Amino acid sequence: MGAGVIPFSLHEDDVCFLFQSTFSGRKTGYLIDFGGGLGEGESFRQTAVREFVEETETMYFSDDLQQASRNAEKVDHQIPIVDALFEKTLSDHPDWWRNRALGSRLQPKMWRTYFIEFPYRDIQALNREWQQDSVGRFKKRRELTWVASDELLALYANTPERLWKRVRQLESAPALIQSIVKTKLGDS
């Protein structure tokens, strides 16, 4: 069982969705949500919140990227910030999440991914921090990417293999993305 989040933000008259990619391991080359396994006693939502903070190494909401790192104190400090974004989005739109298709009946994969509105942040500086890390400050080197809504819908329609399998397997994700865009931009 696990949970994740795909943050989105309004930027330059579009809705953009935030993904990560990694430079090593089995997820190399894919667009990945921010997520992982449920911690002991955690709900899906609590897991998704924690995983975002951990996987961005506390940089997304850090005022000083040089001081950002993944330690318990810094993670615990940012969890309420991210949880407040979940609360705001889900109180207005309680259905902005999707389950992963269960797959095998013998080994179903219970997974929930939330689509949560985040403040837009230019991610170039964060990506530079990961790129320049030669001392092992970060657990894993990553790169963040904002993907415009039309591009994301095209990926689902035409090249879903570019999406990490749990993102690709989200039930009715394109319909939810279209609904988010319509809600945020109107019928323009």
Tens-place pLDDT, residues 119-176: 999 999 888 888 887 666 677 778 899 999 999 999 999 999 999 989 999 999 999 9
Contacts of 167 (CB under 8 A, 6+ apart): 6, 19, 30, 31, 32, 33, 113, 173
Which residues, in sequence order, are bridge partners of residue 8?
17, 117
- For residue 23, is pLDDT > 90? no
Of all residues in the chain, the percent with pLDDT exceeding 90 is 65
Largest Cα–Cα separation, the chain: 49
Which residues, in sequence order, are bridge partners of residue 138?
none
pLDDT digits 0-9 by tens, 41-77: 999 999 999 999 999 988 999 888 887 878 888 889 9
* Residue 57 Rama label (left phi>0; alpha psi -120 to 50; beta): left
- For residue 87, is pLDDT > 90? yes
Residue 148: per-residue pLDDT: 97
Listed in sequence order, the DSSP H helices in the chain are 44-55, 72-92, 124-132, 149-158, 165-168, 173-185
**Which amino acid makes up residue 79?**
I
- For residue 188, is pLDDT > 60? no
Number of separate domains in the chain: 1
Residue 66: per-residue pLDDT: 81
Confidence of residue 107 (pLDDT cuts 50, 70, 90): low
State the CATH number of the domain containing residue 101: 3.90.79.10
Residue 63: per-residue pLDDT: 86
pLDDT digits 0-9 by tens, 88-99: 999 999 999 999
**Segments forming the whole domain that contains residue 59:** 2-185
pTM: 0.91
Contacts of 31 (CB under 8 A, 6+ apart): 19, 20, 21, 145, 147, 155, 162, 163, 164, 167
Nearest alpha carbon to residue 117 among 33, 16, 20, 42? 16
